[in-house]
Amino acid sequence: MAAFASSCSIFLEAESEQCSTDADCTRRGQEFDRMYCAESKVCVPNDAYCKTNAECIQRNGGEHYICRQSEHRCIDLLSPDCPTLYMTAGDLANDGVVIFGALMSPTTSPGLRASDLVLELARSEIREAAGGGLPGVGANGKRRPVVFVSCTGEVRKPSMEASANHLVNRLKVPAIIGPFGSSDVLNVASKYTLPAKVLMLTPGGSSELVANIQNRGQLLYRYDMTTPTVTSANATLLRDHVEGLIRERKGLTAHDKIKVGFLYPGDGLGWATRDLLFERLWFNGRSAADNGDYYLPSDYGDPASTATFQATTAAAASNMAGKHPDVLILDGSAGSEQMFAAILREESRDANFKPFYILPEALSRSTAIPTQIKNDEMRLRVLGDMLGPSADDPTYKRYASLIRSSPLFKPTDPLPGPHVYDAAYMLHYAAAAVGSDPLTGENIGKAMQRLSPPADISLKLGVLGVPDAFNVLSTGGRVDFQGYRGPEDFDAKGDMKVDLLFWCVPQVGTPQRETGMMFSATNGTLVGTNNCFPKPPSFAP
C-alpha cells in the first residue's frame, strides 16, 4: 500500500489535473485500474469500484445494489425511508435497468398502500407484455427492465424530505410518481426535483401555488384536479344548484339574502383556495365582494400544527356557528375530517345552526361520514366534490375488475382510483419515447407531450396497448394514450382539465356515493341530475 501511495504522489506532483472522466484514468495504464476521476480531476482509488450491477450485488451479499456507471460505484437502492423495491427477480443484475421513484406514503393509509400496489401491478404487466421492459437502445439493444423504489415519507413530515433526498440526490432517479398532497408537491418540487431536473408526475399538487412554481419547464406534470377546477365546481354548485334548493326549502324570495360561510386551512394552499373562491363565488345575484357581511370566510388553522389544531378548529367552528350561515363550504385535506367533526358538535348544541354543507373531496372517502349523518333532514343538507371516474363508467368497471382479480389485492383492500395505474403507463411510455437519447428527467418530460393528440395511433387500454405504444414511440411517433380514468391529455404546461363528480349520502348509515351530477371542467357547467335529493330544481341558465 505504501508503494502504491508513493507512486500516486508522483503522479500528483507531475500534474495537477489528470482526468475529466473515468475513462481518462483507465487509459493511463494498469496502475490506474479501479480508479475514478474525482471532482478535483485527479485519479483516486475507489474501494467500491465496479463495472457491473452483478458485481455490486455479489459484493454486498445479494442485496439490492447497482453499479452507477458515471462513478463506477456501488449504490444501495434502499434506505430507512425507502424500504421497498418493485421489481422482478433478476432485474437488478441487468446493467440497463431503469430506476424510478415512488413517493405515495403507502404506510399512511390503506388507500395509499393500495395505490402503491397498483403501481406494482402496472409495472409487472408492462414488463411481461413488452418481453422484459423498455425497448433497448440501438439495433441490438436488450430490453431494459424498470424498477420502482417506493418510499414511505409521511405527509408533511421530515420523512418526506428524507425520501425525496434519497431518490433525487443519492439514487439520482430521472423521474418520480407522487407525492399526493399539494404541500408535499410544492416542497419536494422546489427543493429537490426541479433543481436536479427530475421529472415529477403527480396525482396531487392541485393548488394554484403549485401551478405557478417558477421554472417548471416540462418537469412537473399534474394529472388530477386543480384548485381552479375545485373552486369553480363549488362556486357553480352553489350558484346553479344549492342556492335554489335552499330558497325552495326555506320559502325565500328573490329579495331575501342567504349567508355563505367558507372554512379553509391556515396554510399557503388554503389561502390560495380562499382567494380563488372569492373571485368565483356568485350568490344573491352578486359576487362575494358585493355580498359584504353575507360572505363569511374563516381560517381554521394549520393542520400541521398538531399541538394547537384541535383548539383552532373548535374556535373556528364556534365562531362560524354563531353567524348561522345558510351554506357552509369546507375546504382542506388532512384536517377536514377533524374540522367537520367540530362543526357537527356545534350543530348539536344550536338548533338554529343547520347549514347546507358543501364538503371536500377528502371526505368522499371518510368512514366517519355514514355515522355522522344522523337523519334524512341532515342527509339532504350534504353534498361534496369527488374525483372521477364514475363507478358506473364501463371503463372504470373494467379497471375495478382488473384490480379485484389481481393476487396483489385482498378482498378487504380499498379500491384505489386508476390515477397511479395510468401514471405508471404514462411514465413507461414517455421513457420509451426518449429512445437513444439520455434517459433524463428533462427528456422524459419532453416525451410526455407525445402521448396526446395529434397522434399516429390511439392505444388500446392497459396491457393491450403496450406493444403498439413501444413500437411507435421508440421510432419517433406519437400515440393517443387513454387511461382507465379517461383521456390523459396534458397541456403545454403539464396540466390537464379534470371533470369533478359530486357525492352525497344516499341513505342514513350508508357510505357516500355519486349523485349523478358532475362539473365539466371544459364547459364550466353542471351536467346530469342530483339523484340523491327529491325533486331537484333545474340548473340555472
Question: pLDDT digit string (tens) for 307-333?
Answer: 999 999 999 999 999 999 999 999 988
Whether the CB-CB separation of 165 and 192 falls below 8 Å is answered with yes
* 47, three cell numbers: 474501494
Residue 15: what pLDDT?
56
Of 348 and 183, the structure prediction assigns the larger pLDDT to 348
Q: What is the rounded average pLDDT for all residues in the chain?
A: 88
Question: pLDDT digit string (tens) for 439-496?
Answer: 999 999 999 999 999 999 999 989 999 999 999 999 999 999 999 988 888 888 888 8
Least confident of 24-28, 166-170, 377-381: 24-28
Of 344 and 34, the structure prediction assigns the larger pLDDT to 344
Question: Taking the CA atoms of the chain, what radius of gyration do you get in angstroms?
Answer: 27
Least confident of 87-96, 104-113, 115-124: 104-113
User: What is the mean pLDDT of the segment spanning 91-111?
Assistant: 86
CA angle 348, 234, 263 (to 5 degrees): 45
Which residues are paired to 359 by β-bridges? 384
Distance CA 175, CA 171 (A): 11
Question: pLDDT digit string (tens) for 47-75?
Answer: 667 889 999 999 889 999 999 988 888 89
Of 36 and 413, the structure prediction assigns the larger pLDDT to 413
Residue 358: what pLDDT?
98
Query: Alpha helix (H) ranges present in 356-492?
Result: 369-372, 376-379, 394-405, 419-434, 441-447, 466-473
The three state secondary structure string of 168-193 is HHHCCCCEEECCCCHHHHHHHHHHHH
Does the pTM of the predicted model rise above 0.85?
A: no
Distance CA 482, CA 492 (A): 18
Residue 212: alpha-carbon gap to chain centroid: 17
Distance CA 179, CA 202 (A): 6
Distance CA 101, CA 325 (A): 46
Question: pLDDT digit string (tens) for 189-220?
Answer: 999 999 999 999 998 777 777 777 877 878 99
- Phi–psi pair at 487, nearest 5 degrees: -60, 135
